[in-house]
Amino acid sequence: MASEIKPTRSELMKLKLKIKLAKSGHNLLKKKRDGLILDFFEILKKAKTIRSELNEVYAKAKTDADIAQAIEGKIALASAATALKDKPVITLDTKNIMGVVVPKISSDSVRKSIFERGYGRVRCSPYINDATDGYEQVVQKVILAAEVETSVRRLIEEIEKTKRRVNALEFKAIPEMETQEAFIKLRLEEMERENVFRLKKIKS
């Protein structure tokens, strides 16, 4: 490595600038990493809450569906399930968290009234209605879970990528450049001493 370095003052100035920029970039990346970690734990907490709520509403919806089937029969339940004509519309968008693009998923048409469900005008069993309401809540929670859990995964990927860049600068690039800087300084000092010695010899 040392043989490839030009021990000149101009090279030393270039190297000093590179080290300064690398250290500045290192500090910015550390701040980004720390900010991402804070956001990650905040979203992870939200993801755990939503996942827990999803499990709860799913368990209740399944129980309500089992009750509806036991009381109203499998055919009535299947008929109600296929009565809906207007399917929920899901909107996919994105948002930015510390430079990381994450999904923003929304739907305003998941929860419906009895009449919007397609079976209200003819016959509305309270048991079937409870089951339908329960599964609409499940869909809502699934949409939320998909958004936050995808955000968690993308933040993890970005945190790992940023950590690698921080470590590459901190433990490889910057130390190597500082070693090169020390070598050039030492070589310039040696050259300076040689010049002084040569001048003294000429004068004598």
Structural domain includes residue 119: yes
Task: Give me the CATH number covering residue 90.
Answer: 1.10.287.3240
Amino acid identity, residue 147?
E
Instruction: Find the length of the chain.
Output: 204
Range of the domain at 65: 22-187
Eight-class DSSP state of 120: T
Q: Is the pLDDT of residue 120 over 70?
A: no
Distance, in Å, from the CA atom of 99 to the CA atom of 157, rounded to the nearest integer, reads 12
Distance, in Å, from the CA atom of 192 to the CA atom of 43, rounded to the nearest integer, reads 59
Eight-class DSSP state of 116: T
Structural domain includes residue 12: no
Structural domain includes residue 108: yes
Q: Is the pLDDT of residue 204 over 80?
A: no
Structural domain includes residue 202: no
Q: What is the pTM of this model?
A: 0.80
How many domains, in total, are found in the chain? 1
Amino acid identity, residue 174?
I
Structural domain includes residue 2: no
Structural domain includes residue 102: yes
Q: 71-114: per-residue pLDDT in tens? A: 989 988 888 877 776 777 888 999 999 899 999 998 877 777 66
Distance, in Å, from the CA atom of 69 to the CA atom of 74, rounded to the nearest integer, reads 5
Structural domain includes residue 167: yes
Instruction: Tell which residue, 174, 194, 155, 202, has the closest CA to residue 15.
Output: 174
